[in-house]
Amino acid sequence: MKILDKITLVLFSIVILIIAVVMELLMFGFLSFTTITALYAQIATIPVATNITIWTSIVCAILAIRAIFFGTSTGKQKQGTNEGILLENESGRLLISKETIENLVNGVAKDFENTKEVTTKVIIDNQNTLKVAVTLLVLPNTVINELSMNLQKKIKEVVKKVTDLEIKSIDIKIKNITTPEEIKEI
């Protein structure tokens, strides 16, 4: 939930709580309608208090309409967990694990002919965004800048297509340049 939604929900809840307490006090006889009307008459003579009352009632009405008709969930909701990303819709929930995304990224990176020994780490931060760190070995005569740009682009495309998740950043670390002979030994 966004911070603005939380603040408005708290303010709306406070106003509703005050109204509920006043109604209960009226129902049990601790307050009388004449006391409430006299208090309102005193407040109504103060121009600032009248404006505050009008604007508070308008804001409460708008928040109530928003809560009734629009709610806080708009379609699919993404929640980051330690295990992965939780997607919710009307039919249920789907948890896409970090390992799934890591294996997907490894598969994409291994399809590039100049990459070897690919390891991937997926990080889900507090804003529920994905960050991917890829470490790999490359063959000699590889244009590293071109390889990394193509790899980043392809990883974003494949992850978006398969999981419908956006990757905020892809960090690539070239661990070393290896020769074909070293790969045969491994």
pLDDT at 184: 54
pLDDT at residue 82, as a whole number: 65
Q: For residue 136, what pLDDT is reported? A: 92
In this prediction, residue 45 carries a pLDDT of: 83
By CB neighbour count within 10 A (0-12 exposed, 13-18 middle, 19+ buried), where does 86 fall? Answer: middle
Give me the pLDDT at residue 180, please: 62
Query: CA–CA separation, 68 vs 96, rounded Å?
Result: 31
Q: How far does Cα 157 stand from its chain's mean position? A: 20
Calculate helix-pair angle for 47-69, 3-27, nearest 10 degrees.
Answer: 110
Please state the length of the chain: 186
Provide the pLDDT for residue 171.
Answer: 94
| pLDDT value of position 76 | 47
Domain locations in the chain as residue ranges: 3-69, 77-185
The DSSP element (H or E) to which 24 belongs, if any, is helix 3-27
User: pLDDT per residue over 43-69, tens digit each?
Assistant: 778 878 778 878 877 877 887 777 777
Q: What is the pLDDT along the chain (186 residues), one digit of tens a residue?
A: 567 777 777 877 888 888 899 899 989 989 888 988 888 788 778 878 778 878 877 877 887 777 777 755 544 445 555 678 888 888 888 888 889 999 999 999 999 988 888 999 998 876 667 899 999 999 988 899 999 999 999 999 999 999 888 899 999 999 988 876 655 555
Instruction: Give, in words, the CATH class of 77-185.
Output: alpha beta
Residue 155: per-residue pLDDT: 94
Dist CA 154 CA 62 (whole Å): 45
pLDDT value, residue 107: 93
* Per-residue model confidence (pLDDT) at position 134: 94
